[in-house]
Structure 1
Amino acid sequence: MSSNDVAPAERRGSGWALLGSEISVLFRRRRTWAMLVAVALIPILLAVAVRLSSSTLNPGEGPPFLDRVTQNGLFVGFTAMVVAVPLFLPLTVGVVAGDTIAGEAGLGTLRYLLVAPAGRVRLLLVKYAGAALFCLVATLTLTVTGALIGAALFPVGPVTLLSGDTISVSESLLRSLFVAAYVTVSLLGLSMIGLFISTLTDVPVGAMAATIVVSVAAQILDIIPQLAWLHPWLFSHYWLGFADLLRQPLDLASFGQNAIVQLCYLAVFGALAYSRFVTKDILS
Structure 2
Amino acid sequence: MSSSEAVPVDGREAAAAVERPVASIAARRARPSAGWALLGSELSVMFRRWRTWAMLGALAAVPILIAVAVRLTGHGRGPAFLDQITSNGLFVAFTALVVCVPLFLPLTIGVVAGDTIAGEASHGTLRYLVIAPAGRLRLLAVKFAGCAVFCVAAALTVAVAGAVIGALLFPIGPVTLLSGAVVPLGDAAVRMLLIALYIVVSLLGMCAIGLFLSTLTDGPVGAMAATAVLAVVSQVMDQLPQLDALHPWLFSHYWLGFADFLRAPLVWDSFVSNLWLQAGYVAVFGALAVGRFLTKDVLS
**Same fold by TM-score, threshold 0.5 exceeded?**
yes
The structure that is helix-richer by fraction is: 2
User: Which protein is bigger by CA-based radius of gyration?
Assistant: 2
SS of 2:245's equivalent in the other structure is: coil
Residues of 1 paired with 2:37 and 2:284: CA distance? Answer: 28
In structure 1, the residue matched to 2:68 is 48
Residues of 2 paired with 1:246 and 1:168: CA distance? Answer: 13
Matched, 1:156 2:172: yes
- Once the two structures are superposed, the pairs formed by residues 2-17 of structure 1 within 5 Å of their partners are 2-17=22-37
Residues of 1 paired with 2:117 and 2:215: CA distance? Answer: 6
Count of residues in Structure 1 that have an aligned counterpart in Structure 2: 280
Matched, 1:191 2:241: no
Matched, 1:26 2:55: no
TM-score (norm 1): 0.97
Matched, 1:112 2:128: yes
Residues of 2 paired with 1:30 and 1:2: CA distance? Answer: 44
Matched, 1:259 2:275: yes
Q: Structure 1, unaligned stretches of length 5 or more? A: none
Residue of 254, 275, 278 corresponding to 1:238: 254
Matched, 1:36 2:52: no
Residues of 2 paired with 1:175 and 1:271: CA distance? Answer: 34
Over aligned residue pairs, what C-alpha RMSD do you find? 1.0
Q: Structure 2, unaligned stretches of length 5 or more? A: 1-20
SS of 1:108's equivalent in the other structure is: coil
In structure 2, the residue matched to 1:228 is 244
Matched, 1:66 2:78: no
Residues of 1 paired with 2:103 and 2:133: CA distance? Answer: 38
Residues of 2 paired with 1:112 and 1:144: CA distance? Answer: 38
In structure 1, the residue matched to 2:6 is none
Residues of 1 paired with 2:43 and 2:172: CA distance? Answer: 36
Residues of 2 paired with 1:188 and 1:256: CA distance? Answer: 14
Segment drifting more, 1-10 vs 37-46: 1-10
Give the 4+ runs in structure 1 shifted more than 4 A.
1-4
Q: 1:109-146 CA deviation, whole Å, 9 max, x = no partner?
A: 10011121111000000000000000000000111111
Cα offset, 1:73, TM superposition = 0.3
* Amino acid of the structure 1 residue aligned with 2:49: R
Cα offset, 1:3, TM superposition = 4.5
* Amino acid of the structure 1 residue aligned with 2:118: A
SS of 1:228's equivalent in the other structure is: helix
Matched, 1:121 2:141: no
* Amino acid of the structure 2 residue aligned with 1:274: V
Q: 1:63-112 CA deviation, whole Å, 9 max, x = no partner?
A: 00001111100000000000000000000000000000000000111001
* Amino acid of the structure 1 residue aligned with 2:155: T
Cα offset, 1:2, TM superposition = 4.4
Cα offset, 1:6, TM superposition = 2.4
Matched, 1:93 2:113: no
Matched, 1:170 2:186: yes
TM-score (norm 2): 0.92
SS of 2:216's equivalent in the other structure is: coil
Residues of 2 paired with 1:212 and 1:267: CA distance? Answer: 20
Segment drifting more, 3-12 vs 91-100: 3-12
Q: 1:10-60 CA deviation, whole Å, 9 max, x = no partner?
A: 111111111110000000000000000000000000000000014x44xxx
* Amino acid of the structure 2 residue aligned with 1:12: P
Residue of 231, 235, 243 corresponding to 1:219: 235
Residues of 2 paired with 1:3 and 1:248: CA distance? Answer: 59
